Amino acid sequence: VPLSGSADRTSQVPCSVPPIPLFFAHAHIQTFVRSIHVYHMSRSGVRLARSIGARMLNSYIRLAVCHHLMPLSRPTRLRGFMKELEERIVQQGTVKPGNVLKVDAFLNHQCDVELFDHMGAAWAEHFKGKTIDKILTIEASGIGIACVVARHFGNVPVVFAKKAQSINLDGDQYTTTVYSFTKQKEFPVIVSKRYLNEGDHVLLIDDFLANGKALKGLIELCHEAGATVEGIGIAVEKGFQGGGDQLREEGYDVDSLAIVESMDPENGTIEFRS
């Protein structure tokens, strides 16, 4: 799938599927699937068409629908992006004891760059009109997401907070301590003073938001530096742990693309906030 470098609205979502009217996809989904088959048969020959499995077709449908969502209204488009992430969580996520959601297949171990790109498009839409000249995240899982997302914010620099002292960290640093929900212990959060400055307009990005400790650490560093937190983009918020709502009450613009309202480790069910 080619990634478009252009910033125009219809090319933000990578898509090699020829334009097909949205009503066609809605009203005649079977025909729509067949038409993609035909497209492949004609373009790449019978051998390739034979090798396209159900998984590939699914992702083509998703891409085509996302492609057609772009000219739609902002709320409709955002709902489409959020649905995509929710679907992936339901298909590939596992609920672990202790309120941990494991999504290694696309977020925390293997990275689905196309999905990250869609997240970037959604946040670019949500934070449109705000001045954002830096993205701040925390190692490790936030880094990949933030780098792809930066492409949607004019390639602003991405800074990631380190979780351990290292000889590579020279000079003055902003440091705080946060409690890790997944590791159940405290760890330092460190950013060099070179890369976070007074007057920076920062977008915070992270993979998960649970109790909000990691984000509060990043916010503290921004305040120490004299930087402004313009917004917070989160892939998966676990709404039942309260961190997101607390930050919203404090006045932060938190945009979580999927908000898990409840999850059950016994039967694996996951419910989302509507």
Determine how many CB atoms are found less than 10 A away from the CB of residue 211.
Answer: 17
Q: How far is the CB of 205 from ligand 5GP (least distance, A)?
A: 10
Identify residues 48-67 at the interface with ligand 5GP (CB under 6 A).
none
Cβ proximity of 133 and 200 under 8 Å: yes
- Paired sense of beta strands 100-102 and 134-138, if any: unpaired
Q: Report if residue 90 touches ligand 5GP, rule: CB under 6 A.
A: no
Secondary structure of 233-254 in the HEC alphabet? EEEEEEHHHCHHHHHHHCCCCE
In angstroms, what CA-CA distances link 60 with 1, 14, 37, 166?
10, 11, 10, 44
The phi and psi torsions of 69 (rounded to 5 degrees) equal: -75, -25
> Count residues contacting ligand 5GP (CB under 6 A)?
18
Only segment of 4-12, 84-92, 150-158, 207-215 that touches ligand 5GP (CB under 6 A): 207-215
137-160 per-residue burial string, b: 16 or more CB within 10 A, e: under 16: bbeebbbbbbbbbbbbbeebebbb
Q: How far is the CB of 203 from ligand 5GP (least distance, A)?
A: 16
Among 11, 92, 94, 211, binds ligand 5GP (CB under 6 A): 211
Q: Report if residue 100 touches ligand 5GP, rule: CB under 6 A.
A: yes
Q: How far is the CB of 207 from ligand 5GP (least distance, A)?
A: 6
Q: Report if residue 210 touches ligand 5GP, rule: CB under 6 A.
A: yes
Among 15, 189, 209, 232, binds ligand 5GP (CB under 6 A): 209
Identify residues 159-198 at the interface with ligand 5GP (CB under 6 A).
181-182
Q: Report if residue 101 touches ligand 5GP, rule: CB under 6 A.
A: yes
Based on CB atoms, which residue is closest to ligand 5GP, 86 or 125? 86
